[in-house]
Amino acid sequence: MKELEGKRILITGGTGSLGQTLVKRLLRGEMGKPARITVFSRDEAKQHYMRLDFMHLREATDDIIYQNSQDLLNFRIGDVRDYPALLAAMRDADIVFNAAALKQVPSCEYFPFEAILTNVYGAENIVRAIRENKLPVEKVIGISTDKACKPINVMGMTKALQERVLIEANRDCPDTSLMCVRYGNVIASRGSIVPLFVEQVRNNQPLTVTLPEMTRFLLSLHRAVDTVFASITCGNRGETFVPQVASAKMIDVAKALMGEKELEIKFTGIRPGEKVHEIMVSEEECFRTVERGDYYVILPVLPELREEKDFTPALQSEYSSKDKNITVSQLRELLASSSSEIAAFL
C-alpha cells in the first residue's frame, strides 16, 4: 500500500540531515508519489543549497529524483515559532513531519529558553493550527530523540515535552493522528561524533572521547527514515516508535575509525548535559511497550488513547545503550554500511 500517494507533505526543519534523506526517499516514491513536498525552515542559505542539490544538478544521476524534484519539491521560509507562518504552510498539508529542532546538547544548556521556543512551542503551534482552524491534516509525526527518555539535559527535557504535547493533542484533534519517533545518534549526521573522529584520524590528531565507559545507540540516516515510514505504515494515534538498533562504546567507535593507525585517545570529560548511557525506553515505559517487527512501540501514557487494550509487554526492563554493545569489527561494518563517504574512508 502506498500511504503517501497523492499526499501533500510538509517537512518542518527539512534542510537538516534527516530532512534531506527523507526528501530523497519521498521523491523515489517508496511510499507512493506525493502531490507536493514542502520544505519549511528558517535558514535561507541551507534552502538555497538544498534547492541546488535537488533541482539544478549538472547531471541527473538519478533520473527519478531529478525529475520529481522539479515537479514536486518546493521550499518555504518560516519558523515553527512563528504561528502565522506555520499556519499558512499547514493549510495545504495532509502529512506533517516535524523535524524542526534545536538539538545540540551544550547549546541548549546555554540557551534553554531558545530550546523551549523551538522544541516545545513549535510543537504546540502545529497542534494549535490544526485545532483552531480544523485543518484537514491526516497525520503528524514528531521527530524525537533518546535524550527525551529520562531527560537530564535541556534538549532532552524539551523533546520529552514535545512528545507529550503532540501525543496529548490526539484528544483535541480527533481527525488527526499524531505520533512520534524516538531514536539515538544518527551516524554521520551534521554535528555528530563520527565526522569529528574521521577528521581527527585524517589529520593524525588525538581522538577526543568524553569517558571510557560512554555508550550510544547508533543508526544510519536511512534507518531513521525507515522508522518514520514505519510509523506512517503501521502506527496508531499517540504511539511512539523506537527502532531496535546497535549500541556501542564511544571508545570502540574511535578505534573502529582509527583502523591500523595508532593514534592517542584523549578523554575530555563529560560535556554539559551529557549522559554516560542513553535510554530509548525507560523502565516505566517498558510495561506499555509492544513489539512490531524491528521496532518497539510505546503506547500512549494516557490510557484512553491506547488502541491496543490487551497486550503483552515486549520489555521487562529499560532499553539502554549500556547493554549488548557491538564489537570494533562489527562497528566497522555498521559504519561502512551507513555512509558511502565513511565506507570510502575505511
Active-site amino acid positions: 147
Three-state secondary-structure class, residue 139: strand
- Kindly state the helix (H) or strand (E) to which residue 333 belongs, with its residue range: helix 328-338
Helix 44-55 to helix 63-72 angle, to the nearest 10 degrees?
Answer: 130
Whole-angstrom distance, CA of residue 85 vs CA of residue 166: 19
Three-state secondary-structure class, residue 236: coil
Whole-angstrom distance, CA of residue 35 vs CA of residue 73: 9
Task: List all residues 6 or more positions away from 137 whose beta carbon is below 8 Å from its beta carbon.
Answer: 90, 93, 94, 95, 96, 130, 176
- The owner of cell 528558517 is 42
Cβ distance 240 to 289 under 8 Å?
Answer: no
Cβ distance 73 to 91 under 8 Å?
Answer: no
Three-state secondary-structure class, residue 271: coil
Q: What angle do CA 187, 30, 139 make, to 5 degrees?
A: 85
Q: Secondary structure of 32-80 in the HEC alphabet?
A: ECCCEEEEEECCHHHHHHHHHHHHCCCCCCCHHHHHHHHHHEEEEECCC
C-alpha cell at 343: 565506507
